[in-house]
Every structure is written in C-alpha cells, then in structure tokens.
Amino acid sequence: MIITCEKSLKDFEFWSGGKDRAILLTDEELAIVEQNIEELYPNGIDETALNDLFWFDFEWICELIGTDEETVFARDEA
C-alpha cells in the first residue's frame, strides 16, 4: 500500500542524521530547500529519499541556502 501526503518541510519528521541537520536550519531556509525540491521532484519524493538528502547530501542543501556545512554546524555550538 502506498500512502502519500503533502507536508511542509518544517513539519516533516526527519530521523537520525537527517534530523540532526534539519534542526539547524531556519524556517526560511527550509522554505528555500522545499521550493527547490518541489522543482526537482515534481511528482514528489519519498520520506527516505528526503531524509537521505539532508543526511548524506547536506552540502547540497547548504548550497541551496547560500551557505556551507561548516557555518550551519557552527550554529549547533552557539
């Protein structure tokens, strides 16, 4: 069975490494990422693929919001 739903990135329940990274982004940054993901995946993206983007392709996520991983990870230390 396949169940799909439309959900904002700020409301998505990330897990593991994806969660560790997503919580460092602001709502505005998540909105930018969401817009880009909607353009790249017009038919949607499954939960695992979305979580994996944040976990394993976070450098790309940071590029979308105009920053780098080091800067975002430093937020966790502040």
pLDDT tens digits, 41-68: 999 999 999 999 999 999 999 999 999 9
Q: Is residue 39 part of a domain?
A: yes
Q: Is residue 50 part of a domain?
A: yes
A 10 A CB-CB count for 57 gives 12
pLDDT of residue 76: 84
- Integer Cα distance of 32 and 20 in angstroms: 19
pLDDT, one tens digit per residue, over 12-30 is 999 999 999 999 999 999 9
How many domains are there within the chain?
1
Q: Is residue 61 part of a domain?
A: yes
Q: Is residue 10 part of a domain?
A: no
In the block, residue with structure tokens 């975002």? 72
- Integer Cα distance of 3 and 20 in angstroms: 26
Comparing 4 with 48, which gets the higher pLDDT? 48
For 28, the token pair is 């505005």
The parent domain of residue 54 ranges over 25-77
pLDDT of residue 78: 66
Q: Is residue 8 part of a domain?
A: no
Instruction: Check: CB of residue 20 under 8 Å from CB of residue 28.
Output: no
